[in-house]
Structure 1
Amino acid sequence: MATPRKSAQQQAAREKALAKAKELTERHEKLIELAADFFQRQEQAELVRADAKKKADALLAKAEEDAQDAVRGAARTVRAMLDSGEPKSGVSARLGLSAGELKRLLDLLSEDEKKSSTENNSPAAPEAADRESQNAAV
């Protein structure tokens, strides 16, 4: 049998190199597609987290607002008990509040009344001040 010509050997080596390069190129392209998918999913995860954080912050803000409204309602109840003639010590004992806690609730109402009187410029502010001074005397 005759030995293959040098040009035939070169052609076979070239074809083998091209086949290997094609295989490497296909693998490289597949890895690029997978990497792009990875980065897309990472970005999607960050968007989901950011959206969830925004919703959680809004929910917490609403909950805090509702809780403050409830505390103000409780303070109005304390004020109503005092307005009925019950002494502060009796209200504190009945509700299980310390004197400081009772004062904080009443101060909260006073702050709200001051804010609303300055916002509305209504004549209710002197009446509120009169009630405060009456309650302070008790």
Structure 2
Amino acid sequence: MTCICTPLLHRPEAAGEARRITKEVLARWRVAEEAADSVLLTVSELVTNAVEHAQPPLALGLSRDPGTRRVHIEVSDGGPAASQGAWAAGCAPEEHGRGLTIVGRLTAAHGHRRAPGHATHWADVNAAV
């Protein structure tokens, strides 16, 4: 299994940085374009959620299992923040809150693990290579 793990700065630009890193990794792994699009959107949603709703530190993990043809995504953070980020706090309720619904539709499976001071949100995307 091939695995990439990289820390991200806990700021709004982290989603763009995570997409850039992910796009490079998926190209090296020769993941098909449609699957790559699902992986990129999933990464973007999970990182954005971590920036808006969790504390630092923030890290992105990507792995690929050639046997199952899945890309495994993990976004780790410092656990729930005491208050929402500036973007979510400034939005009307109907303007946010759909990220995990999107992740659920794009992925074969997703979930989270929590420990004191730490949370990991993960997702598996079927990917033809």
- Give the TM-score taking structure 1 as reference length: 0.28
More helix as a share of residues: 1
TM-score normalised by structure 2 residue count: 0.29
